[in-house]
Amino acid sequence: MRISPLFSRIGTAAVLMAALFVGGATAPAVAAVGHVCYTALPPEAHDTLDLIEDGGPYPYPQDGGTFYNREGLLPDQETGYYHEYTVETPGSPDRGARRIVTGDSYQEDYYTADHYASFRLVDYGC
């Protein structure tokens, strides 16, 4: 069974609970990531995930590059843990806004349709 990266860090729940019981304590920021079923992704995202699994070749030189999580929406990890890949947008004259961001954990793939303003963890079980 795969545990969501949102709750995989031991201690997060304990810190949140402590913040509820200690007056004036501020809870730490927790990554804001939703979920999306693999089957609900656009076909171009499936194509990108297939390319990632095959190791390329990728359509853009930026694909496979480090994603730095500057927005802070994904769980905190060391630099180099996340990598980004383009999801083609039909009709777009450039790379568009859609991406897959992968983590180093098995099936830790995030989809964004709005150029990193939000992320959804891909659920392969639905």
- Is 35 a catalytic site residue? no
C-alpha pair distances (Å), 12 with each of 29, 31, 40, 119: 10, 11, 30, 20
- Look up 84 and say whether it is catalytic: yes
For 49, what's the count of Cα atoms within 13 Å in the CB-facing half-sphere? Answer: 19
DSSP assignments along 8-47, one per residue: -STTHHHHHHHHHHSTT--PPP---EEEEEGGGS-HHHHH
Give 122's strand partners. Answer: 36
The position carrying tokens 């995030």 is 110
Query: Which position among 44, 46, 83, 115 bears the catalytic label?
Result: 115
**Set 78, 84, 88, 108: catalytic member:** 84
Return the active site residues.
84, 115
